[in-house]
Structure 1
């Protein structure tokens, strides 16, 4: 019997060693793709940051076979984030790459607070709560500990970090959390009461679907979503949050002699060709003859900039009065180029309203994605660049000539940030500011 037990023990050791060897082989194969395929294609690195990325990759290779899925995810995220470029880095949209579990809630990082935008199950009562601490760290300190996972501007990093923070093992892998599968939170509930809660992760398929970050603002249910509680109710919504299923919208505002135009995307969406929408806008302007136009690009997250470039450039000339250009933290990529086209096309007749853009005016984009065969993570590389503020003609990969909208300023002339306070109160600071400006000009 003793010999049989010893045999089983030895067999177990052999199987464990075989499994470790297989994992090491798989992880080394993935890391080889990063080194041989991703790094040479990614042009957003400087010489210094490329060297840092290569060194980080070397650390991962030395630990291959012992890396947990979360540790591999964190390491790859840091390799990509060293580009300091919003369009570059880790992607895990392949369902096979998703962490096995996640928190039963979704977070949004506003300029003034970290908020639970959606929650389900045992955490449902946390919807609308303000996060005061995560594992004992205030949101500002949490950001400093996790910012290495995401590249780009500070706004862009804050915008996309919550998806990682909510995922199994990530906070543990980066040294913030003690446990992989639960997170200690301190929150101020919508009622004002402060609570401390340890929230356990749940299987990904138990909380699916999880919407894109910008969609979390809209309280209407996501397709196939059930039993989620949202931070705000689905009634009496401000214009910018209404009609969640419509990527492109117009709303006449006769009381201020204006037409409100909203783009939540910059490309064709299912059943919504963008060219049909821009043609409809032109027809509405011709029929209604509004004195003012209000163009809301605050949630234009990008797409194909060429689909609307000429439309945006010509739009301000169609108003007899002013064009108010609404921009914000989710105005991104082709959305930024669109905003630049409006401002350059309309000059002083365009008033920029809102808050800081979702990325810098100089950024790398285009490119493609490299897929890793075993973890199924992807890494987005970029090989074309824009500089809408100062121009980039001296750089061979410069794409400014395709758009001719550089040398513009898009800092808000009227500051109107979308704070958590305004969001939870269902107010729109930007549209309120536009109304006030129009009425002030009327009274002169």
Structure 2
């Protein structure tokens, strides 16, 4: 979907389970895929340390010993564990072909907020669960569940929680982890929007009519293309500014406290050339001379950092007043670099509001996918290193010199996380914090 000229995207790191195949794949086919991982993925993944590489090789050897007994979800879980040992958010298992998609998935879409695991969308007979808080899955609290599934992903905890919901929803994954008894149904304990607590045994449904989207798009209640039969937790006509026009990657709005710029991408999207938007934003700033600028990167999951790098560097100097930079766990990849460029250029004139960004300041990206011949799964390896905090000059594959935004910290000056409580109430803690800083009543 989004261009990957320099940094890869969080959004294309879509992790999912494979369906329990009607026709089992032979032991020889499994061994062929695992041999591909050993020959083509492990040597190229530079995010491994010597210790974690040895652990990944040992885990792969265990899978090879079980090759004839591996279900599709066993293979997915095993390979996810191998890649997760690199502890790098840009690395891991992916699927790029319908043949690798799960046949079934829960009729729910989940979002993991700082304060709760919430049903963001529910399908058909499960419609009454939209907006419910998940209290337990297969008898495990959300915290205990995360303790079991975190081994499938690398990176910061905030980002793992963002992405792991897709695995939890997928057929067979929790069974392969030893969390669930069955592959095709899960028992959930929930607190409904009206306060009632219920326990439901929820069967997986065919994947064919499941809405697909980047993780951040599920926050907005507006229907996705081709989406039918799904009930969102929020009402589409009662959402705060940051969730409006959900399918527009770039937005420019005049607000009572300043000019609001929102980036959900750093690349051209279908029908939305990013260069045209940047020109329009520059012209508006020059014409309106706004007293304050709000740059919302909370759902900027990345793309081509070069498209916005100079724009972000110039923004603070174009303003007479302050620039308020909104960031959070979905700020990722090129979105993090954009935030770093703006912060370094503006210094004390930039006020960071929100939550921690979705990746560490030191990470690996770039690379390519190794596509497995039989399962059709792919493993993304990374071979370009970044350190936005301290720099990595002189270290292997360091790319810092391309952008020169370090040293920088993106720790918020004002904490204003997007919580489940605020989201369900249609509030925006980040904009409310900005309004308080400017001296306007939220």
The residue correspondences of 1:42-441 to structure 2 (distance < 5 A) are 42-205=45-208, 207-253=209-255, 255-256=256-257, 258-439=258-439
| Larger Rg over CA atoms | 1
Find the aligned partners of 2:75 and 2:187 in 1 and give their Cα distance. 23
Deviations 1:400-420 (A, max 9, x none): 000100111110001000000
- What displacement does 1:394 show? 2.4
Structure 1 residue matching 2:43: 3-state secondary structure: helix
Q: Is the contact between residue 385 and residue 396 of structure 2 (CA under 8 Å) also seen in structure 1?
A: no
Deviations 1:130-189 (A, max 9, x none): 000000000000000110001101111111000000000000000000111100000000
Find the aligned partners of 2:409 and 2:150 in 1 and give their Cα distance. 27
Q: Extract structure 1 runs of 4+ deviating beyond 6 A.
A: none
- What displacement does 1:123 show? 1.1
- What displacement does 1:93 show? 3.3
Count of aligned pairs between the two proteins: 419
Deviations 1:5-55 (A, max 9, x none): xxxxxxxxxxxxxx87x6101111111110000111100000000001000
- What displacement does 1:245 show? 1.8
Deviations 1:274-303 (A, max 9, x none): 111111100000111101100000000000
Q: Where do 5+ consecutive residues of structure 2 fail to align?
A: 1-22
Q: Where do 5+ consecutive residues of structure 1 fail to align?
A: 1-18
Find the aligned partners of 1:243 and 1:210 in 2 and give their Cα distance. 18
- What displacement does 1:203 show? 1.3
Partner of 1:12: none
Find the aligned partners of 2:250 and 2:178 in 1 and give their Cα distance. 42
Partner of 1:25: 28
Partner of 1:11: none
Find the aligned partners of 2:212 and 2:332 in 1 and give their Cα distance. 21
1:41 equivalenced with 2:71 (yes/no): no
Q: Name the one with the larger helix percent.
A: 1
Find the aligned partners of 2:149 and 2:349 in 1 and give their Cα distance. 41
Partner of 1:7: none
Structure 2 residue matching 1:404: 3-state secondary structure: coil
Q: What TM-score, normalized to structure 1? A: 0.93
- What displacement does 1:92 show? 1.6
- What displacement does 1:436 show? 0.8
- What displacement does 1:208 show? 2.3
Structure 2 residue matching 1:65: 3-state secondary structure: helix
Deviations 1:83-133 (A, max 9, x none): 000000100232110112110111000000000000102211111000000
- What displacement does 1:386 show? 0.5
Structure 1 residue matching 2:139: 3-state secondary structure: coil
Deviations 1:233-271 (A, max 9, x none): 101211000001210001111x32x10000001111011
- Give me the CA root mean square deviation: 1.1
**Greater RCO, 1 or 2 (C-alpha within 8 Å, sep 6+):** 2
Structure 2 residue matching 1:40: 3-state secondary structure: coil
Q: What TM-score, normalized to structure 2? A: 0.93
Find the aligned partners of 1:398 and 1:117 in 2 and give their Cα distance. 39
